Amino acid sequence: MKNGEANLELQTRFTHIVNHLLGLGKMFEDDELNIKILNYLTRTWDPKITMIYESDDLASMSMEALFRKLLAYEHELIQQSHAEET
């Protein structure tokens, strides 16, 4: 994840890469993709990453479900940032 990059941009880029690799015959397990996604996140995401590792089964979670969780957390961070500014 690039500094200042939104979750949706990461999702689009990551999905594009995975789809190309799938087209070349590379197969992935859900947990493998989810771990790669979590490893790409910046340190700002560390609290959420820890919560996901501790509470969720990465093997049974779809990549889309993981991105939904990350998007919800991103909205929380934005709201907290706006609240601190006022």
What's the pLDDT tens digit per position in 13-59? 999 999 999 999 999 988 899 999 999 888 888 999 998 888 777 88
Residue 77 has pLDDT above 90, yes or no: no
Position 33 scores a pLDDT of: 92
Put simply, whether the predicted model's pTM sits higher than 0.85 gets the answer: no
Residue 86 has pLDDT above 80, yes or no: no
CA separation for the pair 83, 86 (Å, rounded): 5
Q: Are 83 and 15 in contact (CB under 8 A)?
A: no
